[in-house]
Structure 1
Amino acid sequence: MTSEAMFWFRFAHLLLQILTVNAKVPAIIVFGDSSVDSGNNNHVSTSLKSNFAPYGRDFYGGKPTGRFSNGRIPTDFISEAFGNKPIVPAYLDPTCDIKDFATGVCFASAGTGYDNATSDVLSVIPLWKELEFYKEYQKKLRGYLGKEKANEVLGEALYLISIGTNDFLENYYIFPGRSSQFSVMEYQNFLVQIARNFVTDLHLLGAQKIALGGLPPMGCLPLERTTNIFFGSDCIEEYNSVAKDFNEKLNGMVTDLNKKLAGIKLMFSNPYDILSQIIQNPSSFGFENAEIACCGTGLFEMSYMCNKKNPFTCSDANKYVFWDSFHPTEKTNKIVADYVVKNCLSQFL
């Protein structure tokens, strides 16, 4: 490449970066669990990983990235909808640096929850540590863009939080610790207070546009249906009721914080209704199966149990609502992301 051509290449690249960081939403910043983890667990000493085939088989280049899906996850689609990169990189990815994170970064960790006891179950990143990584990221971004520009990006960025399912399904209903301390209602209140503190701390660090995700109809996940085999493998309605009640409490907290925290634009992003519609009437969304997952037998496989040696994995994930026993397919993720952008985040477009 000639020196003149190199100059114009670099100029165009710089111009693109400038235009991107001056966008209405210059960056997508993600916190949460496996619903939005884009690969941080690859670099954590945990058994909960998905950086191997057949995970990622429909991702760019058929590459397993650590996303718990056959392809992209909702935050990737949301980033693209806001004119940013079509993927949000994981903060712990050693192949990325602050240049890659300037327009989007993910701190999420599969298996984590609001409750520190939840992250302890599978030795994953607790929510408080995700916030510490964010503080570290702020310093790096100020060093890269300069303090004034970085603060502008951090203030105008869209913060996405998706977490909470593991607190119930991988902690409260499995181990006696929290269930012996709290009733379900008390545990919900305990988690809501943690959510309130987290959002408040994030706002004090400069975040203004925040979308707090609710729980899905967790009683309809294939894994939960499998445990309900003596009742026809129907959805466990007790779990769905808990999810709906918890979502109502989160929504009330969001309303309250919008009144109390000056300058915040806090939205409650609820995937429950759209996922319920998909699960109850899959054919209307172009699916053939909502009861079992694509990977393996579709009943209980997740993480290392969903691997390329399993002979039962389906050939076309687009026919399935769920990829593994706990996580949606890329097609489902896109439908959910489109719904969230249209119904919850449109004011930020």
Structure 2
Amino acid sequence: MAKICHHICHFSSFFLILFFLNIIFSMVDGKISAVIVFGDSSVDTGNNNGINTLLKSNFEPYGRDFEGGRPTGRFSNGRVPVDFFSEYFGLKKYVPAYLDPNYGMKDFISGVNFASAGTGYDNTTSSVLNVIPLWKEIEYFKDYIQKLRIYVGEEKTNEILREAVYLISIGTNDFLENYFLLPTTKLCYTVPEFEDHLIEIAKIFVHEIYSHGARKISLAGVPPMGCLPLERTINLFAIHECNEEYNNVALEFNAKMKNLVNQLNTQLLGIHVLFSNPYHILRQIIKKPSLFGYDVTYKACCGTGLVEMSYLCLLDSPLTCLDADKYVFWDSFHPTEKTNRIMAEHLFNTVLHKFM
């Protein structure tokens, strides 16, 4: 009887060890190696600092609530969503910009950012303010891969690329800086045709980074762009109200982006694409600000909050708000750090945690 009990205990211990080993290996398999970012000002962490453009934010009062109270080139008073995502994935609190001379390959192993404020899927969009086009962001990515191979070797590089999460947030400028602003674009496309044009570029883009090892990819939708303070200010039909025509375009575009995500998941072997949509959480914040602790939605913190962005956000403006946490938007185009955090938490808990 004692021998039987001994064998039972032995086998129980054996299976218990296997059980915990399985959990450990599952955790290792689900580990995120890095966060790799492409996109526009919604996620740019400082790449525009290093290029010849008027669209910059590497000066005060930008970054006043960032660690150390320093402007970094983020279009906010603090962190942007990808910084929070990186932290939630168990990586560092900030995703460094690839063109920032203060960082090197040792910093880029667990996260790197190629985004450029003002850019879009369409090349015309990036030319409006002379910023980095999406194709150039891909070239920087290829350059990064080559340097990574030299730094950590071929096998480790392939592992990092395979287990990284790729965050793509882009598209708003294609509509607001390009289609609705430039008469030449309207002559070439109807709104649905332009949406399809952007979706096709997004598809080509995903195929391109997939060919270089990307497997875990988040494609973001566009926000309720008709509710940005600048768009509300210039809404001649109802000043300070959201431009619902623009919001409807955002909804249409996001529906097409979601369809693209479903298509990519069936077409590309081993890929895992998620649709990360900021539209509804930001619209909820704007419609019911008191639920989130906000006082002001129709204007931003910087200056008058109606039209200011980039160099118009002057440090010595007496109109700039004292407490950015009471405002949904930091400047007339970009959310405050608090809004970025709320959106990031929502999107991580509902969508992006599936990469873990």
TM-score range, shorter chain: over 0.9
Matches within 5 A, 1:98-117: 98-117=105-124
Query: 1:313: which partner in 2?
Result: 320
Q: Give the superposition deviation at 1:346.
A: 1.3
Q: Aligned pair 1:159/2:166, yes or no?
A: yes
Contact 2:50/2:100 (<8 A) preserved: yes
Letter in 2 for 1:276: R
Please list the CA deviations of residues 174-221 of structure 1 after superposition, one character each: whole Å capped at 9, or x if unmatched. 111111100000000000000000011111110000000000000000
Instruction: State the partner residue of 2:134.
Output: 127
1:116-149 Cα deviation digits (max 9, x unpaired) = 0000000000000000000000011111111101
Secondary structure class of the residue paired with 2:344: helix
Cα drift, residue 233 of structure 1? 1.9
Residue 294 (structure 1) aligns with = 301
1:193-232 equivalences under 5 Å are 193-232=200-239
Spell out the pairing of 1:1-349 with structure 2 (5 A cutoff). 24-349=31-356
**Which string of whole-angstrom CA distances, capped at 9 and with x for unpartnered residues, describes residues 2-61 of structure 1?**
xxxxxxxxxxxxxxxxxxx99710100000000000000000100000000000000000
Q: TM-score, normalised by structure 2?
A: 0.91
- For residue 87 of structure 1, report the CA deviation from its aligned partner: 0.2
Amino acid across the alignment from 1:134: F
Taking only aligned residues, the RMSD between alpha carbons, in angstroms, comes to: 1.1
State the percentage of identical aligned residues: 61
Query: Using the alignment, how far apart are the partners of 2:150 and 2:138 within structure 1?
Result: 19
Residue by residue, what CA displacement relative to the aligned partner does 1:291-342 show, whole Å, maximum 9, x if unpaired? 1000000000000001202221000000000000000000000001011111
- After TM superposition, what 4+ stretches of structure 1 lie above 2 angstroms from structure 2? none
Unpaired runs of at least 5, structure 1:
1-20
Letter in 2 for 1:317: A
Q: What secondary structure, in the 3-state scheme, does the structure 1 residue paired with 2:294 have? A: coil
Distance 1:86 1:121, change over 3 A: same
What TM-score do you get using the length of structure 1 for normalisation? Answer: 0.93
Give the Cα separation in 1 of the matches to 2:282 and 2:290.
13
